[in-house]
């Protein structure tokens, strides 16, 4: 009997010894400290206050996510405020980096240096209004003419950007772009320069719509009163050019329309000028079509005017001025 008890005791001791050994070799995971938990929670809640994309000269791109950062103590008398924000940028050359906000008298400036000291950095991202640039090694502007690009509302995958003209706009696939467009209906020496986007031939095929129909972005320099009447001939078919004002998506437009006719053709034009811009900027619709009655019966069908207007409207609403 004692022998059996001894065997049981030995087994119990072995089980206990194995349990102790396993506990020492496999310690239980400890809950994170308050600072670790706080950091994790902070990282999880660090959602950007804005996420935007820029298209730059040469087809380069910048994707930027802006973060507000933690609150900073108020500056003392005569001291500059301490910047607290940051930005995460992804460049089209494959680089991804996070930069801290620095002092700036104009726009939002971010760099890889000390936020309170300018001049000790090697990389700067500078956002000003709807524009941006990148400065490397304190002198090389490696990304220039960068303009914010509106998100694609659907069906507008292409982007036109011009740093020299100061705007970006989205447009559908298949449109033909003419960056040297001139509107000439105001007569000699009154041409208006711009960029036109002509509809694809497939849009007009089988209809009475002219293949030269287009939407354009135009500019008139040195204007004291930017209004739609500057972009159209002075007389419409009725002899009166009405100018109205409308606001869409926070943008106020001066709007005017004009119609014309000749040799069985019809022309409809609408200009959406943006008051306060200098040069004065307008988006111009030009729709040309033939009188449907002049075609042999069944040869063509009437084009869908509303579809064209809806597409032009969608393009116009993506215009971003630097």
The pLDDT, as a whole number, for residue 235 is 61
Q: Which carries the bigger pLDDT value, residue 223 or residue 19? A: 223
Alpha-carbon gap, residue 207 to 62, rounded angstroms: 41
pLDDT digits (tens, 9 = 90+) for 68-125: 876 665 655 655 556 778 999 999 999 999 999 988 778 899 999 875 565 678 899 9
Q: Residues 26-37: what's their mean pLDDT?
A: 40
| pLDDT (tens digit per residue) in 287-301 | 999 999 999 998 999
From edge to edge, which strands make up the β-sheet containing 320-321?
A: 158-162, 167-171, 320-321
Q: What share of the chain in percent tops pLDDT 90?
A: 61
Q: Where in the chain is the domain with CATH 3.40.1000.10?
A: 158-321
Q: What is the pTM of this model?
A: 0.78
Ranges of CATH 2.40.128.200 domains, the chain: 48-149
Average pLDDT for 245-274: 94
4: pLDDT strictly greater than 70: no
State the average pLDDT over residues 188-193: 94
Calpha distance 112→102 (Å, rounded): 9
Fold assignment, 48-149: Lipocalin (2.40.128)
Q: What is the pLDDT of residues 261-285, one digit of tens each?
A: 889 999 999 999 999 999 999 999 9
What mean pLDDT is predicted for residues 242-269?
93
CATH of domain 158-321: 3.40.1000.10
Lowest mean pLDDT among 23-37, 116-130, 185-199: 23-37
| pLDDT above 70 (res 258) | yes
Q: How confident is the model at residue 217 (pLDDT cuts 50, 70, 90)?
A: very high
């Amino acid at each position: 009997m004692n022998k059996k008890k001894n065997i049981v005791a030995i087994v119990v001791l072995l089980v206990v010894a194995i349990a102790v050994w396993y506990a020492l070799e496999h310690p239980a995971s400890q809950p994170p400290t308050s600072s670790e938990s706080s950091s994790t929670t902070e990282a999880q809640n660090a959602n950007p206050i804005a996420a935007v994309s820029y298209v730059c000269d040469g087809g380069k791109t910048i994707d930027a996510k802006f973060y507000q950062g933690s609150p900073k103590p108020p500056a003392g008398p005569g001291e500059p405020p301490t910047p607290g924000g940051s930005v995460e940028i992804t460049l089209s050359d494959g680089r991804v980096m996070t930069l801290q906000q620095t002092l700036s008298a104009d726009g939002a400036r971010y760099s890889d240096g000390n936020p309170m000291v300018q001049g000790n950095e090697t990389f700067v991202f500078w956002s000003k209004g709807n524009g941006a640039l990148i400065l490397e090694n304190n002198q090389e502007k490696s990304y220039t003419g960068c303009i914010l690009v509106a998100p694609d509302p659907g069906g507008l995958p292409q982007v036109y950007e011009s740093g020299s003209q100061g705007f970006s706009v989205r447009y559908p696939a298949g449109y033909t772009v003419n960056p040297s467009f001139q509107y000439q209906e105001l007569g000699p020496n009154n041409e208006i320069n711009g960029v036109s986007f002509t509809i694809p031939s497939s849009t007009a095929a089988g209809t009475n719509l002219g293949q030269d129909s287009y939407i354009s972005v135009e500019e008139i320099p040195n204007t004291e009163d930017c209004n739609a009447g500057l972009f159209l001939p002075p007389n419409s078919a009725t002899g009166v050019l009405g100018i109205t004002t409308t606001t869409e998506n926070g943008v106020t437009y001066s709007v005017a329309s004009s119609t014309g006719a000749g040799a069985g053709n019809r022309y409809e034009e609408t200009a959406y000028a943006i008051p306060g811009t200098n040069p004065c900027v307008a988006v111009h619709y030009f729709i040309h079509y033939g009188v449907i009655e002049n075609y042999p019966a069944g040869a063509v069908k009437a084009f869908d005017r509303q579809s064209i207007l809806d597409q032009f409207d969608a393009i116009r609403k993506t215009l971003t001025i630097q």
